[in-house]
Structure 1
């Protein structure tokens, strides 16, 4: 295998040193304003001007089917979310130190979707903040410092969570208190995903202890999205969680990407694995584009942390965020988006399987609901990742009016996560566009 590991922000990214700026004045302004921190998609960045449902529209009038962005998960600019946010911001928007009816209503509705034991919720502004707080709670409650993650995980960009995000490192690697394991797929664990992954977690905990780091937590996103999307067999995660708890650590379920009905069978990805987390973190689709995130935990974990440090977030529990979050929960229920994710996701997966039967550059297809991963490989060799083909296909799909991104250790996995309102015809359109992009590659 000659493919090299790729950093997450390098996948499907505009590279000014390679691509220049084409004389685009808006791109020039972006480069001058944000410098090295500017991250843009595609070899030719797109200026977007509006969006609706599963579609986005560029300044030149081109409409794109969005299979990339899982933030507006109930659909871009959903009218009920727009109305709720607009009404609330015109009425009251303030910090979290005042009582408001809408916040408590939202928190109670959200808790109704979570395991009963996780009865305390802290709202933040980003998944990074939520994961940062979760790790701090785990360390405080266990007395440990060690953390186990998968080898291409991504959990955010604060100082703490970036250190448990191996895919974010352009140079070097995670610190001594982090141990990474291969993602839960047959390449690493053969036919026994559950047993192999559990054994890997146990070895990782032992390795941390041998280095003087008592295990504090296993943190993983329950569909392993940055690792390339690993969903099956349902239930494989439970034995690994048991091994971490036996070692003295907690299980933090990062639901920032798989949460809020995306997997089609439950509100949360961890539910598919029949396991109850000690801490759950949420973000991205929580407000359908309004910046909000959260962490749910058992009260004793939060009490222990707050007794020593306390926690406060100015914007995290503002009433506009609560309005957005409440509207999202209403839309998921009223429009039966979980059921839609299951039906349309199965239809999409079947279409991709049919395409794979005719093109041996398509390797494994994995996932659940409307969160799928599709490997692109060297022709005739399913074991040889082809990230260059993936990059070509991603940019080719853009030419066919479809937006998509990459994932996995080598960047050869198409990460398929359209809005939950996706229609059957739109799923078929994606399969047709992928067929065309592969033919042109």
Structure 2
């Protein structure tokens, strides 16, 4: 079957407009480790997917999934030791005081639980996010997506400009003054909620600002923002769906950017492809949530989720993937930064661990989304899958499975050099 025929069938079956990557969409039929294979047998090095964090079709995870499904899988309203043990193990990966977990099936659901938890605990409604973020697709959580920084009084969700050093809200200022300027916007937004009558419930933020384009955050901002939120009676929610599970070379992104949240949301990587997400917090916060809701999810807190979730943690720990991410990621970022001098269109290289962004710019430093899309498609044609992201869509997003090695990085760099030569030629 041709790609054109399959695409036509897809648009009839799923509706026209369902998102697809690349100018010429790929028909992927198999995955193994860091590789994906299309229907013609062509192999691609996956530089994008954080869902199969320990690699596509990892045998230990597949075995755990098959064995558990062949033994028992039911909804969450029976006792099962596996899910309790998984919750205990996950909680221990966070700081002391974060003892309990609510399991869901997606980051959207986990973030919605976190928002409800913050509002119930504080008795207030106001939630602050950044103005170029994404936290999920439900009606409540989608209100946070790409929200303008100026919102009418009375809204229960408002945005602040995301903190960054490349294009700060006070150009030419020192880093300390830039940090203060962003904190002033946070302070004013908190005060705005208090004046509106909604009250301030909390701040939700991706700990490394992934969808904003992995900007360099002014030093001290995250810690001081957390202190400001708590002083105002609010809670801090760290969305670790992209940043967590050793993606940055640490277990959690908040460890890299220097703050301790009250609520942590995790998602995609937890199940290596099986729908699995979680909201972690103190027992007191989760008990309050439980007391005020009858929340459950038919497919969450299941024996299958527990078995697969445990298997993913096993692989990360046994194969030393956190250490691998730190070593390989640092080398890849440094190598890409060296190429900045060869290309006027590489405006910046930034990121943490195996999550790296290449900022693509036009003459004068303006974001160049069209060229970024062209680069992503050229790299794809050479057998390497990336995407474009960021507040302006001009960041080449590199986020491979955690089993990505130095050899894979060198293969990618060779292909990227060819793209550089083609564009500079």
User: Shorter-chain TM-score: what band?
Assistant: over 0.9
Structure 2 match to 1:112: 92
Q: Distance in 1 between matches of 2:153 and 2:135?
A: 13
2:290 aligned with 1:311: no
Secondary structure of 1:356's counterpart equals helix
Residues 290 and 321, structure 1, Cα contact 8 Å, conserved in 2: yes
Q: Distance in 1 between matches of 2:153 and 2:198?
A: 14
Structure 1 match to 2:399: 417
User: Residues 135-168 of structure 1, C-alpha deviation per residue, up to 9 Å, x if partnerless?
Assistant: 001111112111111111000011110001227x
> Is 32-41 or 316-325 further displaced after alignment?
32-41
- How many residues end up aligned between the 2 structures? 415
Residues 117 and 298, structure 1, Cα contact 8 Å, conserved in 2: yes
Secondary structure of 1:224's counterpart equals coil
Secondary structure of 1:384's counterpart equals coil
Q: Distance in 2 between matches of 1:139 and 1:244?
A: 14
2:156 aligned with 1:177: yes
Secondary structure of 1:259's counterpart equals coil
2:366 aligned with 1:397: no
Q: Which runs of 4+ in 1 moved over 4 A?
A: 172-175, 231-235
Give the alignment of 1:355-370 within 5 angstroms.
355-370=339-354
2:188 aligned with 1:209: no
2:331 aligned with 1:347: yes
Residues 375 and 414, structure 1, Cα contact 8 Å, conserved in 2: yes
Residues 105 and 299, structure 2, Cα contact 8 Å, conserved in 1: yes
Offset, 1:233: 5.9
Offset, 1:417: 0.6
Normalising by structure 1, what TM-score?
0.90
Q: Distance in 1 between matches of 2:210 and 2:9?
A: 32
Secondary structure of 1:141's counterpart equals helix
Offset, 1:194: 4.2
Structure 2 match to 1:81: 61
Structure 1 match to 2:389: 407
2:416 aligned with 1:434: yes
2:133 aligned with 1:153: yes
2:59 aligned with 1:95: no
RMSD: 2.1
Label 1:53 to 1:393 Cα distance change in 2 as closer, same or farther (>3 A): same
Normalising by structure 2, what TM-score?
0.93
Give the alignment of 1:229-248 within 5 angstroms.
229-230=214-215, 232=217, 235-248=220-233
Structure 1's unaligned 5+ residue stretches are: 1-21
| 2:237 aligns with one of 229, 236, 252 | 252
